[in-house]
């Protein structure tokens, strides 16, 4: 994988890559958060990305270099949107606005709230490649500096909406780790134990009686809808899970164990994928970086409602 580092360099002309990434946002780039997507757009080229199997790894390399170069994410997001046209530009502007407003949402709720906004948008405007701009002549992408139109209106609507949305969301925490071990495969349990936050809990005695804030259950307010199990893991384990999710869903059976794997397979998200003929990979599982100062990663898994309720009753002694 070291040869991938040679591909990571700030590009002067980035329009083609921006359009390639935006057109495939709901495909191979769906698992990447926006603060990884933007560096990927400006530090790689589409021809290299099309040949790369481990997108998560090269995105992490891009992010590292992006931070070292002290680039401006907000400015590059505007350039990214400007490089797009039509539907793709509107959706990119919306996603950026969601991220901006998401910073106002308390950390435990932030990801779930952001996911709801993006899901609502995709239900109204499904993404396809028809929104990609087709250009015939050369264009100086470095001149793309305008703020996406309509962003202010999107931000205003999201701010008005986020308080009501948060009031409906329930997050079960802390988890009784004595009961988590039978739930999680040892592979993931060890990954959790090696995470920075879990080690800090064990060292500092912040949570006693085997309780931990590193395993959470996001309960959907509507019965029958998918819930989300969230497990903080160390970076190495997170990367292995991410690679398995991109390569083959069968690799997840050994990682998750039959119980968790079956919970994921029974989710609405997974059932819809099967109905659409998607069998080799899944978006019901994703691994994202933690938005704190640790290298920890979050394993997020969709689980069907009834099983999530059972997990809550067995593993989580209290619900704030």
Q: How far apart are CA 50 and CA 24, in angstroms?
A: 11
Q: How far apart are CA 159 and CA 74, in angstroms?
A: 18
pLDDT, position 4: 64
Residue 22 vs residue 110, higher pLDDT: 22
Residue 208 vs residue 22, higher pLDDT: 22
Residue 121 vs residue 155, higher pLDDT: 121
**Tokens read off for 309:** 């309720």
pLDDT, position 167: 40
Q: How far apart are CA 229 and CA 248, in angstroms?
A: 21
Q: How far apart are CA 47 and CA 51, in angstroms?
A: 7
Cis peptide bond prior to 174, omega within 30° of 0: yes
Residue 214 vs residue 31, higher pLDDT: 214
Q: Is the dihedral of CA 35, 38, 44, 50 positive or negative?
A: positive
215-219 and 170-172: which strand pairing?
antiparallel
Pick from 61-65, 108-112, 296-300: least confident:
108-112
Kind plus residue range of the DSSP H or E element containing 217: strand 215-219
**Is residue 162's pLDDT more than 50?**
no
215-219 and 285-289: which strand pairing?
unpaired
Q: CA 38 → CA 18, 34, 92, 113, distances in Å? A: 8, 6, 10, 21
CB–CB of 307/230 below 8 Å? no
Give the three-class secondary structure for 279.
coil
**Tokens read off for 194:** 């090696």
For residue range 230-250, list pLDDT tens digits in order: 999 999 999 888 888 777 787
**Is residue 101's pLDDT more than 90?**
no
pLDDT, position 318: 59
Q: How far apart are CA 264 and CA 254, in angstroms?
A: 14
Provide the pLDDT confidence category of residue 134 given band limits of 50, 70 and 90.
very low
**Tokens read off for 292:** 């704190």
DSSP letters, 121-154, are HHHHS---GGGS----S---GGG--PPPTTHHHH
- Cβ atoms < 10 Å from Cβ of 320: 8
Predicted TM-score (pTM) above 0.75: no
**Is residue 215's pLDDT more than 90?**
yes
For residue range 137-147, list pLDDT tens digits in order: 444 443 334 44
Over residues 50-77, the mean pLDDT reads 87
**Tokens read off for 311:** 């997990």
Q: How far apart are CA 100 and CA 275, in angstroms?
A: 34
Q: Average per-residue pLDDT in the chain?
A: 79
First to last CA, the chain: 44
- Among candidate residues 137, 151, 35, the one with its CA nearest the CA of residue 90: 151
Kind plus residue range of the DSSP H or E element containing 262: helix 251-265
**Is residue 154's pLDDT more than 80?**
no
């Amino acid at each position: 994988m070291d040869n991938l580092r040679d591909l990571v360099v700030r590009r002067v002309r980035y329009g083609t890559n921006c359009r390639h990434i935006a057109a495939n946002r709901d495909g191979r780039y769906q698992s990447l958060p926006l603060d990884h997507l933007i560096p990927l757009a400006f530090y790689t080229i589409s021809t290299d990305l099309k040949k790369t199997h481990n997108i998560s790894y090269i995105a992490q390399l891009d992010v590292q270099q992006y931070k070292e170069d002290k680039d401006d994410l907000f400015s590059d997001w505007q350039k990214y949107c400007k490089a797009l046209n039509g539907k793709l530009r509107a959706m990119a502007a919306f996603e950026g606005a969601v991220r901006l407003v998401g910073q106002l949402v308390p950390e435990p709720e932030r990801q779930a709230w952001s996911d709801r906004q993006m899901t609502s948008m995709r239900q109204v405007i499904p993404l396809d490649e028809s929104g990609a701009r087709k250009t015939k002549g050369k264009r100086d992408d470095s001149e793309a500096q305008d703020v996406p139109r309509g962003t202010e209106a999107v931000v205003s609507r999201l701010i008005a909406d986020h308080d009501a949305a948060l009031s409906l969301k329930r997050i079960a925490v802390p988890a009784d780790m004595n009961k988590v071990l039978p739930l999680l495969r040892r592979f993931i349990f060890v990954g959790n134990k090696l995470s920075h936050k879990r080690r800090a809990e064990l060292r500092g005695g912040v949570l006693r009686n085997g309780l931990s804030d590193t395993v959470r259950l996001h309960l959907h307010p509507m019965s029958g809808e998918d819930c989300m199990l969230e497990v903080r893991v160390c970076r190495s384990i997170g990367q292995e899970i991410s690679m398995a999710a991109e390569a083959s869903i069968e690799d997840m059976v050994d990682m998750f164990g039959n119980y968790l794997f079956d919970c994921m397979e029974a989710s609405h998200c997974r059932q819809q994928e099967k109905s659409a003929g998607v069998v080799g990979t899944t978006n019901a599982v994703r691994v994202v970086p933690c938005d704190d100062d640790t290298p920890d990663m979050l394993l997020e898994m969709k689980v069907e409602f009834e099983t999530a309720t059972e997990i809550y009753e067995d593993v989580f002694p209290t619900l704030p």
